[in-house]
Amino acid sequence: MATNVADILNSHRTRRAFVCGVLNVTPDSFSDGGTFLPPEAAVRQARQLADEGADLIDVGAESTRPGSDRVSAGEQIDRVREILPAVTALGIPVSIDTTLAEVAAFALDAGTAIINDVSAGRDDADLLPLAAKRGAAVVLMHMLGAPKTMQADPQYEDVVAEVGEFLAERMAAAEAAGVARERVILDPGIGFGKRLEHNLALLAGVEQLAALGRPVLVGPSRKRFIGELTGETDPQRRGAGTIAACLTARRGGATIFRVHEVGAAVQALRVADAINRA
Ligand code: HH2
């Protein structure tokens, strides 16, 4: 079934699952930095993600791993310039993973339909108004602090409630900027200013976030909490843990799964959904 953005934005009602393939056009992403920086490699990977059944491809030109340095808008645009036309031509929706309006505007011009902003509109005051003007969908993600320092000492009293309050507040900010609530996707931001117990509580507590009335995206793929639980130090070998996290979040009502290994996620979700329907 071909995906369109409206299907994704309506997924909290239909409960259909959507798999979002990660395409990092960066030298320094935590699990695949450098691999897809050459444009030919990036386009090949985008085709591979589509062939494996991705419903959406998330293109990012700035790593947001803990401790990462910022990448200027010009550098981000240079990294995606050549590949975006080829990725958007694959016929599935594309999102741009950026917090900067200038990068988002370039990507929207190149055919992307969704802005994936890990700062939820806090980094660049022009981003939400841009999304409003262009009718783009927006992923609003929770992050405590900024990537450079977010893992220093994250503290919450009730992480699920606090992330829910934050997302409700950012959704109101998006609406105030003119972004229709119907165009918003919410994300608890797994690994962004969270300790192991916070990540686990959020994955277990998706239902509370889904109650905000918008689709919930989760991005547990290959992240550190899987290594902390299993002792697996190589992020590329955290595929099984990633699937377990996705399936658990699925039970709570998450409908969009941002993963590096699309084929495995598509298969796992199809089987889990069939069993849950039986
Ligand atoms: N995680 C990463 C990047 N972008 N966006 C959303 N909405 N949710 C996430 O959980 C999320 C995200 C980090 O993963 P990755 O892109 O693989 O790594 P890096 O930031 O090092 O490029």
DSSP string, 144-184: SS-TTTTTS----SSHHHHHHHHHHHHHHHHHHTT--GGGE
pLDDT tens digits for 60-106? 999 999 889 999 999 999 999 999 999 999 999 999 999 999 999 99
Looking at the CA of residue 141, tell me the nearest atom of ligand 1. 7
Residue 231 burial by Cβ neighbours in a 10 Å radius (0-12, 13-18, 19+): exposed
Looking at the CA of residue 260, tell me the nearest atom of ligand 1. 17
pLDDT score of 149: 83
Amino acid at 9: L
3-class SS of residue 278: coil
Atom 10 (ligand 1): residue with closest C-alpha? 219
Average pLDDT over residues 135-147: 94
Q: CA of 238: how far to CAs of 74, 225, 233, 259, in Å?
A: 33, 10, 8, 11
Q: How confident is the model at residue 152 (pLDDT cuts 50, 70, 90)?
A: confident
Q: How far separated are the first and last CA of the chain, in Å rounded?
A: 21
Atom 15 (ligand 1): residue with closest C-alpha? 29
Contact, 219 vs 228, CB < 8 A? no
Spell out which residues line ligand 1, taking CB within 6 angstroms.
22, 24, 26, 29-31, 60, 63-65, 97, 116, 118, 139, 141, 187, 189-190, 217, 219, 258
pLDDT score of 3: 80
Q: Structure pTM? A: 0.97
Contact, 56 vs 93, CB < 8 A? yes
Residues in the chain, overall count: 278
| Crossing angle for the helix pair 127-134 and 101-109, to the nearest 10 degrees | 20
Q: What is the CATH number of the domain that holds 48?
A: 3.20.20.20
DSSP of 75-141: HHHHHHTTTHHHHHTTSS-EEEE-S-HHHHHHHHHTT--EEEETTTTSS-TTHHHHHHHHT-EEEEE
Name the DSSP letter for residue 257. E
Atom 8 (ligand 1): residue with closest C-alpha? 219
Q: How confident is the model at residue 244 (pLDDT cuts 50, 70, 90)?
A: very high
Rounded CA gap, 169 and 161, in Å? 12
| Pair of tokens at residue 179 | 């972004």
Decide if pLDDT at 129 tops 90: yes
**Ligand 1 center to 275 CA (angstroms):** 29
Ligand 1 pocket, mutate which of 8, 25, 64 (most atoms under 8 A from CB): 64
Looking at the CA of residue 62, tell me the nearest atom of ligand 1. 22
Ligand 1 pocket, mutate which of 118, 223, 238 (most atoms under 8 A from CB): 118
Atom 18 (ligand 1): residue with closest C-alpha? 29
Tell me how many domains the chain contains: 1
Rounded CA gap, 89 and 45, in Å? 14
Look up the domain containing 20 and give its range. Answer: 5-277
Contact, 87 vs 50, CB < 8 A? no
Average pLDDT over residues 170-180: 98
Looking at the CA of residue 117, tell me the nearest atom of ligand 1. 7
User: Looking at the annotation, which residues are catalytic?
Assistant: 223, 258
Beta bridge partners of 258: 20
pLDDT tens digits for 93-122? 999 999 999 999 999 999 999 999 999 999
For all residues of the chain together, what is the average pLDDT? 96
